[in-house]
Amino acid sequence: MTVSIYKKLKNDFIKFWDHSISKNIIDKRGNKLRTYKDLKKKFEMEDFLKLDIDRADISNFVRIRISNSILMIEKGRHRKIDLENRICPLCKFEVEDELHFTIKCTKLNELRIKFFQNISDILPSFNNLSDIEKFHLIFRSNDYDVSKCCIKGISEMYKFRRSLT
């Protein structure tokens, strides 16, 4: 009987979790769970959390993945700045969200080129992917070497971003 209660509670929680992240409430301040919802499809522990990697690097990677970062998309939400006004303080070109930070910001190009080359050394087809496909691969990969490379690359970019503001 205890096992069935546990299963029922777990299933109820998973339904609650799925419903909570599936809400699509977007206003002028944005949706806190937009990136997490895009990346997280199942209620289970991510493989990258089991890697033997510096915890600070994993923490920086997770901050971007769960929208708990220093990026303007988050800072602006806390400061009640309209979404379209959360411009990247580095390149001053567009809204600084997770995709912009990871793929587009020109001020991070030098680090990104090295980072993307490391991924391409493992996955030669990486450079043929669209921006959104690259973003998903970086944050969803279950391959040990790719995940390790992505965590290190994102963490280096995050540390650099933090040092400039």
Beta bridge partners of 95: 87
160: tokens are 């650099």
Question: From residue 4, how far is each of 9, 43, 152 by CA, in Å?
Answer: 9, 19, 41
For the chain, percent of residues with pLDDT exceeding 90: 51
Q: Which residue would you say has higher pLDDT here, 38 or 59?
A: 59
- What are the φ/ψ torsions at residue 89 (nearest 5 degrees)? -75, -15
77: tokens are 């939400």
The residue among 145, 157, 155 whose CA lies nearest residue 113 is: 157
- The count of structural domains within the chain is 1
Query: What is the per-residue pLDDT across 137-148, written as a single tens digit (0 to 9) for each?
Result: 999 888 889 999
Q: Which residue would you say has higher pLDDT here, 144 or 134?
A: 134
From the centroid of its chain, how far is CA 24? 18
Query: What is the per-residue pLDDT across 73-82, written as a single tens digit (0 to 9) for each?
Result: 989 888 989 9
From the centroid of its chain, how far is CA 92? 21
Q: Which residue would you say has higher pLDDT here, 51 or 104?
A: 104
28 band by pLDDT with thresholds 50, 70 and 90: very low
31 band by pLDDT with thresholds 50, 70 and 90: low
Q: Is the pTM of this model over 0.75?
A: yes
Judging by beta carbons within 10 Å of its beta carbon (0-12, 13-18, 19+), is residue 158 exposed, middle or buried? Answer: buried
- Could you tell me the residue range of the domain that residue 149 belongs to? 2-164
